[in-house]
């Protein structure tokens, strides 16, 4: 479904992403891991159009998407969450999801019909499925950190993506919130066959839910394979144990 | 009970406004008309700044262009009055789009600085083009149609148009478009990531805000029968911004209240002192330091946790 | 086109030189604006008022000392210092408490100061025009390539590069300047290594104000000193800073050159609307380089 071939992104002289390769098949859960500053977030920005690659190819469903604007990529079927919570803080929980649904339905240029009742059933269904229905009328800035992260996933889901990209979905969450978030990711993959690409610091968690793992060090792909393959790989062990012992 | 409070308040205000010219002296009705059209101007600016987060620093230019468009059509062409009342706002909307396309690529403050300085070029051209715009004298004695030329009639015309425009803007704010622009204000990156073409929506807002600003300018011609370049000077742009801030940029009627307060204060102050800048500057300084959410913002912000936001 | 043939007349060169000397003043004022923008991130609308105060203060100093070359030179130093003091009061008294606020609020606060300062000038100096005569030393004209150029304009042409050199030294060679530069790039970083960012901000604001005052003092002999002289200048300064790249000193210099030259040539070609040419130049620059000519600190 998604194929990245030797993608490169330079910031001045710094090679933030330097030969990343990635392959994500339909219905898979794929994780990207690597030490801090390995270029994981930068890679995700390349996939969703927030940055454009300096070279290499990014193919989604066989078509090049590198360098397109974020909103165009979203319409092709890729949604994402950000490392730092990114929601619409002054809008209610309901409205956060609602505008994402309306955007998917191309209704954002309707300027005179009232929005209040639009897409109500679908938004409520999405909120129920992520467990935020009882907070639907709360101003989203007032949510707890964990709820905000979940809301962001709900907003990303509202675009009916084929590929969902999550940048550190459990960062900063309390243990029970993390549990809930993992359960949600599993459910999404199982129930709707959604393809998920995520990166994460918690390695144990990665091995728990990912089908396949890609390891990045200094902007380049070291290895990509099943959990077993990655675990056995000597380079990965040296990268992790040798450089910052995060494993 | 609560559900009826807002419509009831609206009804009372409208009834008072309709009765006004019959109970107060003529000068007060004139002031009320100026209040109304200035409130319309501030509300239109707030679509851009409060609802979309666009730093629209040159809004008075669209007000001025709306006024000049109408005044010039009335004085220099034989076209019927309704055309003149469309020419002004449309010219403002087109100018707003053109300036927007130049500025939109720039980020917030940068956008505002460029827009206000490009606006000052429009002012300079109007100010110097004696043969066409009347230069710094402006245009006086604009032939407004008889039906709306008497003080009372011009007041009612202003009231009707303002009410209509404010109603339209209220609809816009509650539409899908209105929700999305609030999303853009809150988080443009997230908005793009859910598939919203941010720049196109921002340009649309600029056109709408410019149009309604132009309507306010046309109304000024009806009330005042004249136009002059200073109504589009950059200091007035920032004054309108102050009205929004004073009333509260995150509430729909905030700018309306802020505009009323400032216009009334200005009329009152001009009787007693020539130091309007000192007064306005002091008020503004106090508001910024103590009430950054605006006067109405303080009243309405808290209970917003539940129920409809921002409207 | 008769108007275009004006461009190739003998007057063009002297027009350019006069334009360049005006550029000096634009540069001095806008470099102050640029400094404040770069470090404090505030588009200071009151910058024009500071410039106006500089001009009025210069007039007062010259009146007090009874004219002559000495009084004039003293005014060129004392007036900017007075303005710098005003800047100090504004920064320490108000801005220093409000840096956490949105930029929009800070901009409106500077606007409120512009309103207040405008009226204070009216109260202190009255609404009449004031004028300063060029001291005898600078009267008359020099011959440049056979064309007359007033000595005072020539003086400005010398002052401009001196100020640029002075600023370069302050920013690149003094500790305060280096810290201000670092703060412009990353304020939190500077704070994190234990430098008092507050005083860097104060220093920057005072230096920026000083430059505004200096510009006002220098222009005093060339114009009618009047209320409202702040209003047109501030928009020009905004544009210059934008084309140059926000917060970039050399950008301010380049922007002033573009602005001053297109304006003086524009007036030659089309007297009535010559003022539009610098704006067209700005739009042209921004279409090609939306972030300004030189790298912006933002």
Q: Where are the alpha helices (DSSP H) in B24-80?
A: 26-46, 60-76
Answer whether C108 sits within 8 Å of B242, measured CB to CB.
yes
pLDDT digits (tens, 9 = 90+) for C35-62: 888 888 888 899 999 999 999 999 998 8
User: CB within 8 A of B139, min separation 6: which ones?
Assistant: B68, B71, B72, B75, B133, B226, B227, B228
Distance, in angstroms, between B145 CA and closest chain C CA?
34
| Subunits close to C (at least 3 CB pairs below 8 A) | B
Answer whether B182 sits within 8 Å of A107, measured CB to CB.
no
For chain B, positions 185-224, list CB contacts with chain C under 8 A: none
Distance, in angstroms, between B204 CA and closest chain A CA?
9
Both tokens of residue C99? 């840096």
Answer whether B176 sits within 8 Å of A69, measured CB to CB.
no
Answer whether B177 sits within 8 Å of A138, measured CB to CB.
no
pLDDT, average across residues A28-54: 86
Answer whether A139 sits within 8 Å of B304, measured CB to CB.
yes
User: CB within 8 A of B177, min separation 6: which ones?
Assistant: A108, A109, A110, A111, B201, B204
pLDDT in 10s for each residue of chain C, 298 residues: 445 555 556 667 777 777 788 888 889 999 999 888 888 888 889 999 999 999 999 999 888 888 778 888 888 899 999 999 999 999 888 888 887 777 888 888 999 999 999 999 999 988 888 888 777 777 777 776 667 777 888 888 888 888 888 888 888 778 777 777 777 666 666 666 666 777 888 888 999 999 999 999 888 888 888 888 888 888 889 888 888 877 777 888 888 888 888 888 887 777 777 778 888 888 888 777 777 777 665 4
> Could you say which of B175, B187, B197 has the minimum Cβ distance to residue A110?
B175
> Could you say which of C112, C238, C283 has the minimum Cβ distance to residue B284?
C112
What is the distance of C-alpha B160 from the center of its chain? 16
Q: Is the pLDDT of residue B299 over 90?
A: no
**Which residues of chain C make contact with B247, given a CB cutoff of 8 A?**
none
> Could you say which of A108, A118, A137 has the minimum Cβ distance to residue B201?
A108
Q: Is the pLDDT of residue A230 over 90?
A: no
Cα–Cα distance, A82 to B9 (Å, whole number): 43
For residue B310, what pLDDT band results from cuts at 50, 70 and 90?
A: very low
B-chain residue closest to A119, CA distance: B176
Cα–Cα distance, B160 to B146 (Å, whole number): 17
Three-state DSSP class for A4? Answer: strand
C-chain residue closest to B55, CA distance: C104
Of C119 and A231, which is predicted with more confidence? C119
Which strand (E) or helix (H) includes residue C230?
helix C229-244
Cα–Cα distance, C260 to C29 (Å, whole number): 13
pLDDT digits (tens, 9 = 90+) for B26-71: 788 889 999 999 999 999 999 999 999 999 999 999 999 999 999 9
Q: Are B57 and B116 in contact (CB under 8 A)?
A: yes
Q: Do chains C and A touch (3 or more CB pairs under 8 A)?
A: no
Q: What is the pLDDT of residue B296?
A: 57
Answer whether C108 sits within 8 Å of B245, measured CB to CB.
yes
Distance, in angstroms, between C113 CA and closest chain B CA?
6
Half-sphere exposure of B305 (CA within 13 A, CB side): 5
Q: Is the pLDDT of residue A243 over 60?
A: no
| Helix and strand numbers, DSSP H then E, in chain C | 13, 2
Helix (H), strand (E), coil (C) string for A112-154:
CCCCCCCCHHHHHHHHHHHCCHHHCCCEHHHCCHHHHHHHHHH
> Could you say which of B117, B235, B292 has the minimum Cβ distance to residue C101?
B292
Answer whether B116 sits within 8 Å of C275, measured CB to CB.
no
For residue A188, what pLDDT band results from cuts at 50, 70 and 90?
A: confident
Answer whether C103 sits within 8 Å of B109, measured CB to CB.
yes
**Which residues of chain B make contact with A74, given a CB cutoff of 8 A?**
192-195
For chain B, positions 40-59, list CB contacts with chain C under 8 A: 49, 55, 57
pLDDT, average across residues B80-99: 92
Answer whether B176 sits within 8 Å of A102, measured CB to CB.
yes
Highest mean pLDDT pick, A211-220, B218-227, C127-136, C150-159: B218-227
For chain B, positions 241-260, list CB contacts with chain C under 8 A: 241-242, 245
Distance, in angstroms, between B247 CA and closest chain C CA?
14
- For tokens 């889901």, name the residue: A157
pTM of the model: 0.88
For residue B198, what pLDDT band results from cuts at 50, 70 and 90?
A: very high
Q: What is the pLDDT of residue B298?
A: 52
- For tokens 């619409």, name the residue: A88
> How large is the angle between the packed helices A120-130 and A145-157, nearest 10 degrees?
130
Cα–Cα distance, A196 to A25 (Å, whole number): 10
**Which residues of chain C make contact with B236, given a CB cutoff of 8 A?**
none
Cα–Cα distance, B41 to C269 (Å, whole number): 38
Which strand (E) or helix (H) includes residue A163?
strand A163-167
Q: What is the pLDDT of residue A221?
A: 82
User: Chain B within 8 Å of C289 (Cβ-Cβ)?
Assistant: no
| Subunits close to B (at least 3 CB pairs below 8 A) | A, C
Of A44 and B215, which is predicted with more confidence? B215
Closest among A244, A236, A237, A220 to A38, alpha carbons compared:
A220
Both tokens of residue B54? 């666009």
* Mean confidence (pLDDT) of chain A: 84
Q: Is the pLDDT of residue B205 over 90?
A: yes
Closest among C56, C23, C217 to C123, alpha carbons compared:
C56
Q: What is the pLDDT of residue C288?
A: 79
Determine the residue among B61, B113, B269 to mutate to test chain C binding: the one whose Cβ has the most chain C Cβ atoms within 10 Å. Answer: B113
* Mean confidence (pLDDT) of chain B: 86
**Which residues of chain B make contact with C235, given a CB cutoff of 8 A?**
116-117, 120, 234
> Could you say which of B171, B194, B305 has the minimum Cβ distance to residue A155?
B194
Residues in chain B whose beta carbon is closer than 8 A to a beta carbon of chain A? 168, 171-172, 174-180, 182-183, 185-187, 189-198, 201, 204, 208, 250, 304-310
Q: What is the pLDDT of residue C284?
A: 83
Q: What is the pLDDT of residue B1?
A: 53
Q: What is the maximal distance between C-alpha atoms in chain B?
A: 60
B-chain residue closest to A76, CA distance: B195
Lowest-confidence region among B101-115, B242-256, B281-295: B281-295
Answer whether B281 sits within 8 Å of C43, measured CB to CB.
no
Closest among A185, A206, A198 to A130, alpha carbons compared:
A185
**Which residues of chain B make contact with C120, given a CB cutoff of 8 A?**
278
pLDDT digits (tens, 9 = 90+) for A101-141: 999 888 888 888 888 888 888 899 889 888 888 888 889 89
Cα dihedral value B46, B48, B53, B59, nearest 10: -90
Answer whether B275 sits within 8 Å of C101, measured CB to CB.
no
Q: What is the pLDDT of residue A245?
A: 41
Rg of the Cα atoms in chain C: 19
**Which residues of chain C make contact with B242, given a CB cutoff of 8 A?**
108, 111
pLDDT digits (tens, 9 = 90+) for A6-22: 888 888 778 888 888 88
Q: Is the pLDDT of residue B309 over 50?
A: no
**Which residues of chain A make contact with B180, given a CB cutoff of 8 A?**
99, 102-103, 108
Q: What is the pLDDT of residue C212?
A: 93
Both tokens of residue A122? 């679908």
Distance, in angstroms, between B277 CA and closest chain C CA?
5
Distance, in angstroms, between A143 CA and closest chain B CA?
10
Q: How many CB pairs under 8 A join A and B?
A: 128
Lowest-confidence region among A168-182, B263-277, C265-279: C265-279
Determine the residue among B173, B183, B206, B249 to mutate to test chain A binding: the one whose Cβ has the most chain A Cβ atoms within 10 Å. Answer: B183
């Amino acid at each position: 479904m998604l194929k990245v071939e030797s993608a490169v992104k330079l910031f001045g002289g710094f090679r933030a992403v330097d030969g990343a390769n990635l392959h994500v098949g339909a219905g898979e859960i794929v994780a990207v891991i690597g030490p801090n500053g390995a270029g994981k977030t930068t890679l995700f920005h390349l996939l969703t159009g927030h940055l454009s690659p300096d070279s290499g190819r990014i193919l989604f469903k066989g078509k090049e998407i590198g360098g397109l604007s974020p909103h165009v990529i979203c319409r092709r079927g890729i949604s994402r969450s950000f490392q730092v919570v990114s929601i619409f803080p002054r809008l209610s929980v309901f409205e956060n999801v609602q505008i994402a649904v309306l955007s998917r339905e191309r209704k954002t240029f309707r300027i005179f019909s009232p929005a209040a009742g639009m897409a109500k059933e679908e938004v409520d269904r999405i909120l129920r499925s992520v467990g935020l229905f009882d907070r639907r009328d709360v101003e989203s800035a007032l949510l707890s950190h964990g709820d905000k992260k979940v809301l962001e996933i709900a907003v990303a889901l509202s675009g009916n993506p084929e590929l969902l990209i999550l940048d550190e979905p459990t960062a900063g969450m309390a243990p029970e919130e993390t549990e809930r978030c993992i359960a949600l990711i599993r459910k999404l993959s199982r129930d709707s066959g959604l393809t998920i690409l995520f990166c994460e610091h918690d390695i144990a968690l990665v091995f728990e839910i990912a089908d396949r793992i890609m390891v990045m060090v200094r902007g380049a792909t070291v290895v990509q394979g099943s959990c077993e393959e990655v675990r056995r790989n000597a380079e990965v062990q040296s990268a992790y144990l040798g450089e910052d012992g995060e494993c | 009970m609560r559900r009826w409070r807002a419509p009831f308040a609206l009804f009372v205000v409208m009834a008072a406004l309709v009765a006004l010219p019959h109970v107060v002296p003529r000068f007060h009705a004139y002031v009320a008309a100026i209040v109304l059209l200035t409130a319309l101007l501030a509300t239109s600016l707030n679509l851009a700044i409060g609802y979309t987060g666009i730093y629209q620093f040159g809004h008075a230019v669209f007000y001025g262009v709306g006024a000049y468009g109408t005044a010039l059509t009335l004085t220099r062409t034989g076209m019927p009055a309704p055309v003149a009342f469309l020419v002004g706002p449309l010219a403002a909307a087109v100018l707003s789009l053109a300036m927007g396309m130049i500025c939109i690529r720039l980020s917030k403050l940068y956008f505002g600085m460029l827009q206000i300085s490009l606006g000052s070029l429009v002012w300079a051209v109007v100010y110097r083009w004696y043969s066409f715009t009347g230069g710094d004298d402006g245009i006086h004695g604009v032939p407004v149609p008889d039906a709306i030329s008497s003080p009372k009639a011009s007041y009612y015309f202003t009231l009707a148009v303002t009410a209509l425009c404010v109603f339209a803007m209220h609809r816009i704010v509650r539409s899908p478009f209105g929700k999305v622009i609030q999303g853009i204000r809150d988080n443009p990156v997230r908005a793009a990531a859910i598939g919203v073409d941010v720049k196109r929506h921002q340009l649309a807002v600029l056109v709408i805000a410019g149009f309604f600003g132009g309507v306010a300018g046309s109304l000024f011609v009806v009330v005042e029968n004249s136009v002059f370049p200073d109504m589009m000077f950059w200091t007035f742009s920032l004054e309108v911004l102050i009205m929004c801030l004073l009333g509260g940029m995150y509430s729909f009627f905030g700018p309306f209240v802020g505009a009323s307060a400032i216009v009334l204060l200005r009329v009152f102050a001009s009787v007693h002192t020539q130091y309007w800048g000192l007064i306005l500057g002091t008020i503004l300084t106090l508001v910024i330091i103590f009430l950054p959410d605006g006067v109405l913002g303080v009243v309405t912000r808290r209970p917003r946790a539940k129920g409809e936001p921002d409207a | 086109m008769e108007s275009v043939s004006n461009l190739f007349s003998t007057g063009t060169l002297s027009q350019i030189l006069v334009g360049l000397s005006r550029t000096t003043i634009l540069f001095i004022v806008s470099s102050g604006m640029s400094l404040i923008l770069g470090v404090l991130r505030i588009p200071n609308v009151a910058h024009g008022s500071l410039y106006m105060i500089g001009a009025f203060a210069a007039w007062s100093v010259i009146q007090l000392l009874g004219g002559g070359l000495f009084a004039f030179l003293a005014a060129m130093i004392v007036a900017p210092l007075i303005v710098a003091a005003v800047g100090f009061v504004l920064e320490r008294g108000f801005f220093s408490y409000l840096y956490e606020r949105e930029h929009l609020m800070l901009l409106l606060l500077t606007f409120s100061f512009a309103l207040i300062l405008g009226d204070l000038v009216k109260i202190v100096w009255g609404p009449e025009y004031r004028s300063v005569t060029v001291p005898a030393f600078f009267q008359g004209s020099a011959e440049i390539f056979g064309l007359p150029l007033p000595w005072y304009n020539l003086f400005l042409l010398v002052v401009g590069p001196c100020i640029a050199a002075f600023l370069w030294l302050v920013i690149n060679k003094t500790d305060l300047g280096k810290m201000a530069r670092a703060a412009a790039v990353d304020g939190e970083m500077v704070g994190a290594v234990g430098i008092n960012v507050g005083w860097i901000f104060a220093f920057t604001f005072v230096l920026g104000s000083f430059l505004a005052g200096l510009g006002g003092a220098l222009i005093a002999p060339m114009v009618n000193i009047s209320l409202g002289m702040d209003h047109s200048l501030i928009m020009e300064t905004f544009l210059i800073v934008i084309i140059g790249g926000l917060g970039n000193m050399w950008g301010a210099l380049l922007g002033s050159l573009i602005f001053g030259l297109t304006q003086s040539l524009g007036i030659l070609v089309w007297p009535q609307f010559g003022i539009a040419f610098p704006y067209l130049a700005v739009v042209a620059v921004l279409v090609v380089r939306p972030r300004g000519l030189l790298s912006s600190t933002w």
